[in-house]
Amino acid sequence: MRKKILAVVTILLLCFLAQPANAARSKKGPQKGYRFTLFIYGNTDSVMYLGNYYAGATYAFDTARISPKGMFVFENKEATLKPGLYFFVNPSGTYVEFAVYGNEKLDFHFDTEEPGWQYNMNVKGSEQNKLLFKYHKANRDIYRAVDSAKANITDSALLAEFRRKQGLKMDSIKHDFIDKNPNTMLALLMTATREPDVPQTDKDGNKLNDKQKWEYFMDHYFDYTQLDNDALIRTPEMIFKKRLDRYLDVYLKNAPPETIIEYVDKVIDKAKPSKENFRYLVNTIAEKYLQSTVMSYDAIYVHLVKRYIETGMCDWMSPSTVDMNVKRADKWDKLLLGKLAPQLIMKDDKGQWHNLHSLPNKYTLLVFWSPTCGHCKTIIPELFKRYAKYQKKCDIGSFAILSEPDDETRPKWREFINNHNLNWLNIDGGEANIDWHDVYDIETTPQIYLLDKDKKIIAKKLNAESFEEVIKILEKIND
């Protein structure tokens, strides 16, 4: 953690990232202006930085040099700090966190000593932070008791029992704090990562199966995470970002797109009252599935754009960004699995016209490629070998389109075809019934589709290996 904060401070202070903010949503409105003073007995540093968390990152936005009285004073009368967890950090990476939360006037004084800033801290002007550091000190006493027991209790069973009791004591302190101070930043932090308690039976006493338990877990995964609270985004990554990552990358891993859509909608909709969390979730989840290599997951991106961006909910996006996403989603919507591949009528390398939808085969391999593309030079010859292996056995047709049909590329195309004996249907993309670059969203190559006999898309984002695997699954071929 120290290395991470120090690296961020070193980089970001070069360009001095200030973050005066707009009004933020918390339990009460934020205060304009701040003044934080920090005195550290035994300090040898001449400079200190002030920063905050944001999802998986840390940002330094203010600097203070030590005063003649030995204090660091951070002051900005115009800035508005949004709710969340902030920190003081020195050039060597030693840091201490504090809360900006509720309606407290941001005029705090912190007084501590070396070493152990966190455990020696006294605070004036903030009840939130008095409670925060009181809690840290209570836990420190338990850690010290356990360390002492390790040194003095030789019986392993007795030591284990002592540690168990201290653990229960720590849990008791935590739950007691939350019960008595539910509207504090610390309570938000301590409850955010709590896992749902999954029942073993339903209300009628029937035993739940694994699928039912998973569904309950997913439905209640964020029950204790205040997705509608702006402060959540300004917490260490394990509080919010990592929890979201596990939700998407572990618990929804390999789930069908319709299942993922159902659950990400629940999360995003729950966060709507917090503009910042809502923004982060829409941006992060949409980008994740925009970049996904799973062939069916483009449907998730299309859904997110149509539900949240196209409808005007994402008012932070510029008109050009909205337009770009909507246009891309419209294209992808026509290229989803199960959709009819847009019709292509084009000439082959000998000048003969061909109609994609008229090919009689059980399957059609539709390929967009160019001999000037580095990936194509590797993938296309191998893809052709797999195609040739199953062509007759599985009745596979082809429609391999030159994606750069210009006078400079055509000779290289013909040479590549001859050198690799690509005797599938080679299509020159120069003339066509549609602007296929736009319709098929050909921004990179190769782009490889597999179509069924009706020319519906049954697989996409293929390479040579995955093409063969799909064919073997469809035709029930066992090596």
User: DSSP string covering 156-225, please?
Assistant: HHHHHHHHHHHHHHHHHHHHHHHHH-TTSHHHHHHHHTPPP---SB-TTSPBP-HHHHHHHHHHTTTTTS
- Are residues 96 and 182 located together in one domain of the fold? no
Residue 339 covered by a domain: no
β-partners of residue 87 are: 51, 97
Q: Is 205 left (phi over 0), alpha (psi -120 to 50) or beta?
A: left
Could you tell me the CATH number of the domain that includes residue 433? 3.40.30.10
The radius of gyration computed from the CA coordinates of the chain, to the nearest angstrom, equals 30
Q: ∠ at Cα 108 (135, 22), nearest 5°?
A: 105
- Are residues 309 and 383 located together in one domain of the fold? no
Residue 71 covered by a domain: yes
Total count of domains within the chain: 4
Look at residue 158 in the predicted model and tell me its pLDDT: 87
- Are residues 165 and 231 located together in one domain of the fold? no
Look at residue 207 in the predicted model and tell me its pLDDT: 96
Amino acid at site 162? F
For residue 105, CA distances in Å to 66, 87, 127, 130 come to 23, 17, 11, 14
Q: Of 153, 171, 186, which residue is a domain's last?
A: 186
Look at residue 294 in the predicted model and tell me its pLDDT: 95
DSSP string, 324-338: HHHHHHHHHHTTSTT
- Are residues 243 and 313 located together in one domain of the fold? yes
Look at residue 30 in the predicted model and tell me its pLDDT: 63
- Are residues 225 and 256 located together in one domain of the fold? yes
Taking Cα atoms as reference points, which of 222, 98, 195, 171 lies closest to residue 179? 171
Residue 338 covered by a domain: no
- Are residues 231 and 259 located together in one domain of the fold? yes
Amino acid at site 24? A
- Are residues 103 and 144 located together in one domain of the fold? no
- Are residues 31 and 72 located together in one domain of the fold? yes
The label of the residue with tokens 């082959």 reads 348
The label of the residue with tokens 């939700």 reads 247
Distance CA 348, CA 356 (A): 12
- Are residues 282 and 351 located together in one domain of the fold? no
- Measured N-to-C along each axis, helices 464-474 and 374-394 cross at an angle, to the nearest 10 degrees, of 20
Distance CA 327, CA 85 (A): 38
- Are residues 147 and 80 located together in one domain of the fold? no
Look at residue 247 in the predicted model and tell me its pLDDT: 97
Look at residue 17 in the predicted model and tell me its pLDDT: 33
Look at residue 297 in the predicted model and tell me its pLDDT: 97
- Are residues 106 and 26 located together in one domain of the fold? yes
Could you tell me the CATH number of the domain that includes residue 86? 2.60.40
Q: Which domain, by its residues, includes 238? A: 210-333
Look at residue 5 in the predicted model and tell me its pLDDT: 44
Q: Is 353 left (phi over 0), alpha (psi -120 to 50) or beta?
A: beta
* Residue-by-residue pLDDT tens, the chain, 479 positions: 444 444 443 333 333 333 333 333 344 456 789 999 999 999 999 999 999 999 989 999 999 999 999 999 999 999 999 999 999 999 999 999 999 999 999 999 999 999 889 999 999 999 999 999 998 888 888 878 888 888 888 888 888 888 888 888 878 888 888 888 888 999 999 999 999 999 999 999 999 999 999 999 999 999 999 999 999 999 999 999 999 999 999 999 999 999 999 999 999 999 999 999 999 999 999 999 999 999 999 999 999 999 999 999 999 999 999 999 999 999 999 999 999 999 999 999 999 999 999 999 999 999 999 999 999 999 999 999 999 999 999 999 999 999 999 999 999 999 999 999 999 999 999 999 999 999 999 999 999 999 999 999 999 999 999 999 999 999 999 86
Distance CA 19, CA 76 (A): 11
Using omega within 30 degrees of 0 as the cis cutoff, is the peptide bond preceding 342 cis? no
Residue 204 covered by a domain: no
Say if residues 53 and 234 touch (Cβ distance below 8 Å). yes
Q: Of 300, 333, 366, which residue is a domain's last?
A: 333
Taking Cα atoms as reference points, which of 104, 136, 125, 99 lies closest to residue 234? 99
Residue 287 covered by a domain: yes
Residue 203 covered by a domain: no
Q: Which parts of 306-425 are beta strand (E)?
A: 345-348, 353-355, 363-369, 396-402
